[in-house]
Structure 1
Amino acid sequence: MLRRLPPSEATGLRTSARHSLAELYRPADLVVLGLGVMIGAGIFSIAGRQAATMAGPGVILSFMIAGIACLLACLCYAELASTIPASGSAYTFTYVIFGEVWAWIIGWALILELQLAAAVVAKAWAELTVRAFADFGIALPRHDLVGGALTAFILVVLTGVVAVNTRIGLRALWIMVAAKLLAIGAVIVVGALHVDASNFGDLYAPPKPLDVPPSTVLDVVIGQSHAFGWAGIFAAAPAIAFAYIGFDIVATAAEETANAPRAVPKGMIRSLVVATVIYLAVAVVMVGMIPYRRISTDAPLSSAFRGVGVDWMVHVIDIGAVLGLTTVILVLIVGQTRVLFSMARDGLIPRGLSAISRRYHTPSRMTLVIGVVAVLLATFAPVFTLQQLVVMGALFAFLFVSAGVIVMRRRMPDLERGFRVPLSPLVPVLSLVATLWLMVNLQVPTWAWFGLWMVFGMLVYLVYGRRHSLLAPPRDEPPAAARGRHRR
């Protein structure tokens, strides 16, 4: 626990292990990267589902709550990314501030978040693609073989793009993000023409106790599950936070960004603010078009447009949803590659995976491994039932990043920062509280599965990581000397 990575080594090159990634991103690219992962198919469905089942018209407030919680964490990420602009994001921040064991724990949580998210989104992409073809009058067989083939197809294609040429992936990302923003713009403009103000009420639906066993940690504590009312509004926030999660992936691009200490914080904050405004606008349109009691949970926005007689918008939504999930998968693979690349060159996982391809100038070996694992997960694991683990992994990293701002200000006050969290330590403390609130609104089985994943991760670290770490003492060095050498 005493091994801490010096800041100078986190952002520099280390002999035989720390390889340099080519500069690729401009400030505007980072905003597109953030929008690429935060705005997926969920923008067309999450507001309607949460309004129909949990928050009623108060889902608009749920979006605000989730957005504020993520913004607090984003500000903390921005300061650490401006101080330690390395590709490992929260993993590297934790390595410098708290030490190797904690860095491994965060890295292991990020592996869970990003790898499982790629599999979940790829499987959802396959289902949406089948539905989109059906809406266009082209019926595809709805069985597991077709869905599995489509899932594997999108993962193989996008893994290949990231492995071979990240610049091509960035150009494709720009085009797809622009196209899906046009689709979302059409949804907002056309939907606004059919908004009925009476559907908003006072943004509050009477609370309704649910006749089901308590499912979240908070429900277990209070002994009752509730929908609607303020309990429902707050309970919907963690599900909505799933949509916002992804701004942290922008931090993984720091090593490949020009003037990263200033560009990365701006890119993260701007992309999150834009995404929040867009989500709120779609939520307002969704709730305003149709009373929340009549919202279909299967395809909320499509059914709402059909309900007001604008059937052609269904095709716009289908195209936007497929493009939205495509960009999400692409950015998730990029982010996962950069986190594991950092862990590999630090020696916590096999260093050979951090090799940069001389031909493609990317960590292509690592990228291919990530793609293969994602295909296997999507094919054989019940990823839809485990998708809350994605939120848990991200929120767990948020905790350490928020605490890291406070600790780094005290331990390393002289480090140059391109961005400073305003009103520190108040904002980091509020971020900690908001993150914990979101976490206790996650289901109890999610906590159990996450605990098992962490236990397995610690076994992996004890068997391999601690012995192969670049900060591990030479075999002939006394432990006391090693502790002194690594204490910073």
Structure 2
Amino acid sequence: MRRLPPSEARGLRTGARHSLAEVYRPADLVVLGFGVMIGAGIFSIAGRQAATTAGPGVILSFMIAGIACLLACLCYAELASTMPASGSAYTFTYVIFGEVWAWIIGWALILELQFAAAVVARAWAAITVGAVTAFGVRVPNPELVGDVLVLVILLTLTGIVALGARVGLRALWIMVSAKLVAVGAVIVVGLTQVDVANIGEFYVPPRSLPTPPATVLEIVVGESQAFGWFGIFAAASAIAFAYIGFDVVATAAEETVNASEAVPRGMIRSLVLTTVIYLAVALVMVGMVSYTRISVEAPLSSAFRTAGVDWMVHVIDVGAVLGLTTVILVLIVGQTRVLFSMARDGLIPRGLASVSRRYHTPTRVTLLIGFVAILLAEFVPVLTMQEFVVIGALFAFLFVSAGVIVMRRRMPGLERGFRVPLSPVLPALSLVATLWLMVNLRVQTWAWFVLWMAFGLLVYLVYGRRHSVLARPRDPVEPSRGRHRR
């Protein structure tokens, strides 16, 4: 239960060899948020949830999911402004609750970010093959081509991250700008095709489904349901997958200029703007076509075809490819920073926390993350494991929300660049909202998550507990060279 002193949360005790260069500014953090939150899902998730779960009420689902994530984002913002470290929720938990809990959260973040990178890489390959086919190019062996594309995209983006944050940031700005143009085209052109009659009164009467209960909530209720208010709230849980990623912005805190003020602003602004964009796309989706006629496989593309605007299909394909590319890039950055912090604290081999003198990045851990992502994407059916990403993120949300309440009591004197308003009410609401999203996940996901966490606890007991920096005399600190600036 030993806790990391707040003054050491940024890991400066280990010397300049383990510090990162400050490269991000407030606008960069907003782009980082756009990069991870606006992916291919923006072109499909609204239509899929409208057709199968919520009907036109999916617009309300986006609002509910956005509010739930905003509550968690406010909590992240306060803790990040107090402890601007690369480890994000892992470091916050280390300071507030103690080492074993920090390890548990770090292990959950590994599950979230590592699986997310593999899942999105596999989806990127499938969408890229589909986009090439849509342009009239024949792909002889789509499965083999998909495997090669997975390898190419992960090797390329891992290399970009390993070469330095500045290189990755420039690439991110270009790709995010391009995909925002594509999303803007979808919204502007789609609004000209909207028929208000398709939206109706938002509410569709509930109906029971023949499938057996699968989520925790369905088991409690005793049946599977869709539409109605149950469907609107259930769709909000699925939609939360699209918003998850704002927490990755917090992992860039140690590399941000004036992080105590810049990180909270960047996180909140990126999430609010993303929510507005998702709401606009959802409105276009359910307004163009009745929810009963939406294609689950390619909802937005089929809607534009129905409206006779076939050329928009190519815009959507290009936007989806660019969207997933930036998602993978930011996920690798986030995972690198979490593992870097855990290594710096000694909970995993400290050699992984070494920063390249040439590129000023943790190159070793970046290459390791890329290698593991390739193995998962190539040899594991990761597309069936998307809920692993969600449950790992939501588990961290719980500790961050509780952390604000506990830190206000235990450490009231800490300097904060941002404070959650109406605390402890809003953090408590964040806890409730996060728990609601979690009970809408499948029982099977919960079972695998418990096994993953049990295995992680065993790893900590065997290695992390003994090698922790706090468990032994500190290594001599190298002469200070100051923080690298570029």
TM range (shorter): over 0.9
Q: Does 1:153 align with 2:155?
A: no
CA shift for structure 1 position 235:
0.7
Write the deviation string for residues 373-393 of structure 1: whole angstroms up to 9, x where unpaired.
Answer: 000000111111111010000
TM score, norm. by length of structure 1: 0.96
Write the deviation string for residues 225-256 of structure 1: whole angstroms up to 9, x where unpaired.
Answer: 00111111111111100000000000000000
User: Structure 1 CA distance, aligned partners of 2:115 and 2:267?
Assistant: 22
Q: Does 1:372 align with 2:367?
A: no
User: Structure 1 CA distance, aligned partners of 2:138 and 2:68?
Assistant: 42
Q: Does 1:249 align with 2:253?
A: no
Amino acid at match of 2:244: I
User: Where does residue 349 of structure 1 map in the other structure?
Assistant: 348
User: Structure 2 CA distance, aligned partners of 1:93 and 1:72?
Assistant: 17
Amino acid at match of 1:247: F
Amino acid at match of 1:458: L
Q: Does 1:138 align with 2:131?
A: no
CA shift for structure 1 position 108:
0.1
Where structure 1 has 5 or more consecutive residues not aligned to the other structure, the ranges are 476-488
Secondary structure of residue in 1 paired with 2:470: coil
CA shift for structure 1 position 473:
4.0
Matched-pair contact (CA < 8 Å) for 2:106–2:338: yes
User: Where does residue 409 of structure 1 map in the other structure?
Assistant: 408
User: Where does residue 223 of structure 1 map in the other structure?
Assistant: 222
CA shift for structure 1 position 165:
2.3
User: Where does residue 388 of structure 1 map in the other structure?
Assistant: 387
Write the deviation string for residues 162-197 of structure 1: whole angstroms up to 9, x where unpaired.
Answer: 001221110110011011000000000000000000
User: Where does residue 484 of structure 2 map in the other structure?
Assistant: none
Matched-pair contact (CA < 8 Å) for 1:406–1:424: yes
> Which runs of structure 2 are paired with 1:114-133 in the superposition (5 Å)?
114-133=113-132
User: Structure 1 CA distance, aligned partners of 2:380 and 2:448?
Assistant: 13
User: Where does residue 33 of structure 2 map in the other structure?
Assistant: 34
User: Where does residue 44 of structure 2 map in the other structure?
Assistant: 45
Secondary structure of residue in 1 paired with 2:85: coil
User: Structure 2 CA distance, aligned partners of 1:329 and 1:98?
Assistant: 31
User: Structure 1 CA distance, aligned partners of 2:87 and 2:243?
Assistant: 20
CA shift for structure 1 position 359:
1.5
User: Structure 2 CA distance, aligned partners of 1:449 and 1:149?
Assistant: 29
Which range moves more in the overlay, 419-428 or 356-365? 356-365
Where structure 2 has 5 or more consecutive residues not aligned to the other structure, the ranges are 475-486
Change (3 A) 1:123 1:186: same
User: Where does residue 188 of structure 2 map in the other structure?
Assistant: 189
Matched-pair contact (CA < 8 Å) for 2:133–2:139: yes
Secondary structure of residue in 2 paired with 1:157: helix
Write the deviation string for residues 120-174 of structure 1: whole angstroms up to 9, x where unpaired.
Answer: 0000000000000011111213442211110111000000000012211101100
User: Where does residue 466 of structure 1 map in the other structure?
Assistant: 465
Secondary structure of residue in 2 paired with 1:384: helix
Which range moves more in the overlay, 352-361 or 36-45? 352-361
**May I ask how many residue pairs the two structures share in their alignment?**
474
User: Structure 1 CA distance, aligned partners of 2:30 and 2:425?
Assistant: 27
Change (3 A) 1:27 1:148: same
User: Structure 1 CA distance, aligned partners of 2:197 and 2:306?
Assistant: 16
Q: Does 1:432 align with 2:431?
A: yes
Amino acid at match of 1:468: H
CA shift for structure 1 position 301:
0.2
Amino acid at match of 2:37: M
User: Structure 2 CA distance, aligned partners of 1:44 and 1:136?
Assistant: 18
User: Structure 1 CA distance, aligned partners of 2:140 and 2:16?
Assistant: 49
Q: Does 1:270 align with 2:269?
A: yes
CA shift for structure 1 position 206:
1.3
